[in-house]
Amino acid sequence: MVVSVFTLGCKTNLYESGQIISRLQQAGHTAFHGLNKADVFILNTCAVTAEAEKKSRQLVARARALNADCKVLVVGCAAQKNSAQFADIANVTFIKGVADKTAIVNAVESGVTGVDVEELPSVYAESGISAQSRTRAFVKIQDGCNNFCSYCIVPYLRGRSRSRKIADVVDEVRQAGSAETVLIGIDISQFGADTGESLPQLFDALCGVQTRIRLGSLEARVITDELLDSLKKINFCPHFHLSLQSGCNSVLKRMNRKYTTEQYLGAVQKIRNVFPDAAITTDIIVGFCGETDDEFAQTCRFVKQVGFADVHVFPYSPREGTAAYGWQDVDATVKLQRAHSLGLVKAQLKQNFARGLCGTVQPVLCERKRDGYWEGYTPQYLRVYFTGKASEGAICNVQIKRPYSDGASGAVFCGDNNK
């Protein structure tokens, strides 16, 4: 049987799609990532925003356009939130929630129809390893979230935080054998809180593993001396995606974010004391409920003060089912204006960071060649377009030349190309 697995949403979703693909392949089926012609389509959905949920429904029509006689199985957050929205759509035969996604393979093989939205687990459930790239692997270490930010529906769809055992994480990292491994989850900052383990203990266990380690998003509160010391012991990519959301304390309080800008800045300073060339990136929501011009101006000043390497900017989108749903909204035009304004700040900061690495030689993970240039990322996650002898999946020493496009240009370093 030919099975197409298509994913919307976060990297954790993508990892779980890889688990489904791996299980299908083990059962003898032809399975792959992406929306291409197949007998069966498994749609791994997202519901973080209303727009994502809408796209999840529209995927069914896209699958039918590729094969009018196909069977469509829907899994994931949009199904967890509201399974009924898929029940009457043509070709949809089975609907499954978030728990134990790989069990959907049983529905593929048995032909069973219906809805299976189980209660979310309270402990981490192993579901097999994920199909991985030899270049960059994503390894899930945690699921769920306990934060309940006022704008976010994720804890209601993914459940409470639950952590994977360190031994199982290390085993999968070794099995993947990739040049780079990204440790991901819904909120990896909560890793180990429910099992008596910790992120520093995980990093200690990864010492000596032949891969460079990159981290998913972190909360500022976990940036401690112990954590930073443990990161120095491994082949760590000095890139910290520190979730911020707003650079204004009054907005952070309304968001139910459990830190102040002063505490956040303290975490940034700790990082830079240990990893001076680290990239610090973040997410900012503009136009959150009741955000004033002055509150937005505070965010812009704080973003400049931190000097982020990159900023992902999102206009606030009300989400039914969250604490903030129904609160005073900001005019849509104002949100777009603020997103544009902060986007200009982001572009300048991103170029500043690239310029700061110019002249240095960086180990770049080579991912592909296009239009005569190799493309890859430095440990700081700066995208580099470079020339010279390289191969896909290799880590090449590249001299960074100048800011270029969405990153920088460079050339493979041979010891004499210092200009």
**DSSP secondary structure of 258-269:** S--HHHHHHHHH
391 and 375 in a single domain? The answer is yes
What per-residue confidence (pLDDT) applies to 418? 47
pLDDT in tens, the chain (419 residues): 999 999 999 999 999 999 999 999 999 999 999 999 999 999 999 999 999 999 999 999 999 999 999 999 999 999 999 999 999 999 999 999 999 999 999 999 999 999 999 889 999 999 888 988 778 999 999 999 999 999 999 999 999 999 999 999 999 999 999 999 999 999 999 999 999 999 999 999 999 999 999 999 999 999 999 999 999 999 999 999 999 999 999 999 999 999 999 999 999 999 999 999 999 999 999 999 999 999 999 999 999 999 999 999 999 999 999 999 999 999 999 999 999 999 999 999 999 999 999 999 999 999 999 999 999 999 999 999 999 999 999 999 999 999 999 999 999 998 655 44
106 and 243 in a single domain? The answer is no
142 and 250 in a single domain? The answer is yes
What per-residue confidence (pLDDT) applies to 380? 98
346 and 375 in a single domain? The answer is no
Strand-strand pairing, 71-76 and 40-45: parallel
Mark 102-122 as b/e (b = at least 16 C-beta within 10 Å). bebbebbeeeeeeebeeebee
* C-alpha span between 190 and 10 (Å, rounded): 17
Segment 233-263, tens digit of pLDDT: 999 999 999 999 999 999 999 999 999 999 9
What per-residue confidence (pLDDT) applies to 122? 92
Q: Is the pTM of this model over 0.85?
A: yes
Contact 342, 313 (CB under 8 A): yes
104 and 153 in a single domain? The answer is no
285 and 376 in a single domain? The answer is no
340 and 223 in a single domain? The answer is yes
Structure tokens at 316: 């606030």
What per-residue confidence (pLDDT) applies to 52? 95
Number of domains in the chain: 3
14 and 98 in a single domain? The answer is yes
215 and 74 in a single domain? The answer is no
232 and 333 in a single domain? The answer is yes
* C-alpha span between 253 and 259 (Å, rounded): 8
Residue 123 lies in a domain: no
Contact 188, 216 (CB under 8 A): yes
Helices (H), 224-320: 225-232, 249-255, 261-274, 293-306
Query: What is the separation of C-alpha 174 from the centre of its chain, rounded to a whole number of angstroms?
Result: 21
Segment 148-166, tens digit of pLDDT: 999 999 999 999 999 999 9
Contact 118, 36 (CB under 8 A): no
Domain of 250?
A: 136-355
Residue 122 lies in a domain: no
What per-residue confidence (pLDDT) applies to 416? 58
Structure tokens at 187: 């909120």
Residue 294 lies in a domain: yes
Residue 128 lies in a domain: no
317 and 382 in a single domain? The answer is no
* C-alpha span between 152 and 321 (Å, rounded): 9
320 and 346 in a single domain? The answer is yes
Sign of CA dihedral 196, 199, 205, 211: positive
Residue 131 lies in a domain: no
Residue 121 lies in a domain: no
